[in-house]
Amino acid sequence: MRLGALVCSLALVAPLTGCPDREIASVVPALEGSEAKTILGTNRELDLLFVIDNSGSMKEEQESLVKNFTNFINVLRVLPGGLPDLHIGVVTSDVGQNNAGKNIPGCDGFGEAGNMRTGGVLFSNGARYLSDVRDPNNSAQRIKNYAQDTNVNGDLAAAFAKMATVGTTGCGFEQHLASMEKALVNNSMNAGFLRKDALLAVIIIADEDDCSAKNESFFGNAGGLGDLDNFRCTAEGVVCGADDNGSIRRAGMYTDCRPREASPHMRSITDVTTAIRKLKPFPDEQIIVAAIIGPENPFGIRKRGDSDKLEVAPACTYQKPNCTVAGTETCKQNAAPSVRLNAFVDNFDKHYQTTICKDELSDSIQAVAEYVAKDLNPRCFKSPLADPPVCNVTDILNYETANEAADTVPECNNAKSNLPCWHVETNLTDCVPGLFSGKQIVIERSVALPAAAVTKVECEGVPR
């Protein structure tokens, strides 16, 4: 046993047809101490959706995102073949209340309803998202649907900055997940953004938890729901303790908090997850969800000032990013515990969370970019490998169907004549050191895999 071993696991979706001529074998057991990861195959299309909280406390965080977006893109540029074929959309957390809650600033009507923001960028094709893809007739050129906008001069970061500067006048009842779902599921306003074979990456940036309601009556004067403020969202959307009906309508600290799936008022996290997974034929491989949000814990309820009204206690307090008077009360910022958002992110095989509770978000944005980038070059290993390599390689035929079957792929012999087989080789050009380890998996085949098949790879890392 190698203690502290790390494993990088890759799933290569095979786009070609053909049938391997060999018997089906059982899956090789996972390596001891493995850390399984699943990464999409050779497709270089990436659909990026940013879900940005546009409530009153997010000015500096938005500025930090815009400031660091160039670094985000630069991580993608070093991938083999350069920048992937990108679609980039931006939505806010504002879905409004359809006037159910009267006289609440920013909450009239249906808000932005998941319609992607153009930010005033002039698009050539009537789209509401950035498209920056390779020219099929000249790989050295890019086709940009924002190229004619003289205010951005074809600069991707400048165009994104206009879209991502969403302001802070949005509804204070942040419905991040509802906005995301409305943006991606049957929204004619965002037509063309989603591509069937592209990797979909959803990136949520917020300092409040999700308040996606089942209907607008939740924001009205319904009896028993308490004051019309954010505590209503938490009280109806989160449950704590061993009891699935465990109320949090009293001051104190709570443990084992999770989404209240049976809430009569709040959108089920499971239902939202299911709706998003249905967007892709291989959701485990084709969907990444990342979030820069508040932590789940500590989770506390406290009285508001000298009143008997309750509110959610901050999970963290930090200095606002880019604040010009650092160290003062003016720069102090709080983030609420994000129980519902963290649960949603955790529902996906490919997920990444990091805290928004920092005075600078550059490291967090860089880390999200690197996590996404790894899925666009699945043959490269992020972590150093054991020497000699110790790998389990498995073809999975009829993936995610009732007829799913696994076929073990052996290591190549010296002549590489025992096809199909695998070997690990050094590739410092494609597997750029720093982002990757300089090593890649190579699978030698005589016959391509069928279309409905993936290959999973687990290789043991060096002991820590």
One domain for residues 357 and 403: no
The SS3 call for residue 191 is coil
Residue 408 pLDDT level (bands cut at 50, 70, 90) = very high
Same domain, 422 and 354: no
Q: Which of 340, 374, 408 is the last residue of a domain?
A: 374
> Can you tell me the mean pLDDT for 106-114?
78
Angle at CA of residue 150, ends 146 and 151, nearest 5°: 95
Among 360, 361, 362, 366, which residue's Cα sits nearest to residue 434? 366
In degrees to the nearest 10, what's the CA dihedral of 264, 270, 272, 275? -130
Residue range 381-399: mean pLDDT, rounded = 87
Q: Is the dihedral of CA 119, 291, 453, 276 positive or negative?
A: negative
Report the pLDDT averaged over residues 254-273.
94
Q: Are residues 161 and 255 in the same domain?
A: yes
Based on the fold, state whether residues 12 and 84 are members of the same structural domain: no
pLDDT at 225: 81
Query: What's the total number of domains in the chain?
Result: 2
Read off the CATH number of the domain in which 297 is found: 3.40.50.410
Tell me if 317 sits within 8 A of 336, measured CB to CB.
no
- Across 128-142, 144-158, 194-208, 425-439, least confident range: 425-439
Query: Taking a C-beta distance cutoff of 8 angstroms, is the pair 385, 439 a contact?
Result: yes
Spatial separation of the C-alpha atoms in residues 249 and 85, rounded to whole Å: 48
Q: Using DSSP bridges, classify how beta strands 310-312 and 316-319 pair: parallel, antiparallel or unpaired.
A: unpaired
My answer on whether 221 and 365 are in the same domain is yes
Question: What domain range is 73 assigned to?
Answer: 45-374
Closest CA to 410 of 22, 8, 3: 22
Residues 38, 49 within the same domain: no
- Looking only at the bridges linking them, the beta strands covering 299-303 and 252-254 are antiparallel
What is the pLDDT, as a whole number, of residue 165? 93
**Mean pLDDT computed over 395-415:** 90
**Which of 14-28, 112-126, 231-245 tops mean pLDDT?**
112-126
Is a pLDDT exceeding 90 seen at residue 296?
Answer: yes
If we measure between CA atoms, which residue out of 98, 312, 66 comes closest to residue 167? 66
Q: What is the pLDDT of residue 50?
A: 97
Same domain (yes/no): 358, 383: no
Specify whether 338 is located in the same domain as 433: no
> Are residues 66 and 136 part of one domain?
yes
- Overall average pLDDT of the 260-275 stretch: 94
Q: Is the pLDDT of residue 26 over 90?
A: no
Q: Is 413 a residue whose pLDDT tops 80?
A: yes
Nearest to 426 by CA among 413, 417, 436, 418: 436
Quote the tokens at residue 271: 């239902």
Q: What angle do CA 372, 60, 104 make, to 5 degrees?
A: 105
Local confidence band at 164 (pLDDT 50, 70, 90 cut-offs): very high
Q: What is the mean pLDDT of the chain?
A: 85
Residue 79: its pLDDT value, please?
83
Give which of 295, 335, 291 is closest to 313, Cα–Cα.
335
Do 350 and 454 belong to one domain?
A: no
Please choose, from the candidates 272, 290, 291, the residue with its C-alpha nearest in 3D space to the C-alpha of residue 207: 291
pLDDT of 6: 39
User: End of a domain among 309, 343, 374?
Assistant: 374
* Residue 153 in tokens: 């001069």
pLDDT of residue 207: 94
How sure is the predictor about 382, in pLDDT bands with cuts at 50, 70 and 90? confident
Cα pseudo-dihedral 376, 379, 384, 387, rounded to 10 = 180
Q: How far apart are CA 291 and CA 400, in angstroms?
A: 27
Token readout for 433 is 């050191």
Under the banding of pLDDT at 50, 70 and 90, the label for residue 70 is very high
**Residues 124 and 174 placed together within one structural domain of the fold:** yes
pLDDT tens-digit readout, 144-159: 999 999 899 999 999 9
Where among 356, 374, 392 does a domain terminate? Answer: 374
Q: Give me the phi and psi of 340, to 5 degrees please.
A: -70, -45
pTM assigned to the model: 0.84
Structure tokens at 327: 């160290």
Give yes or no for a contact between 14 and 285, defined as CB atoms under 8 angstroms apart.
no
pLDDT band at 37 (very low <50, low <70, confident <90, very high): very low
Task: Identify the pLDDT of residue 23.
Answer: 38
- Provide, rounded to the nearest whole percent, the portion of the chain with pLDDT above 90: 51
Q: Is the pLDDT of residue 3 over 60?
A: no
One domain, residues 360 and 391: no
Is a pLDDT exceeding 50 seen at residue 20?
A: no
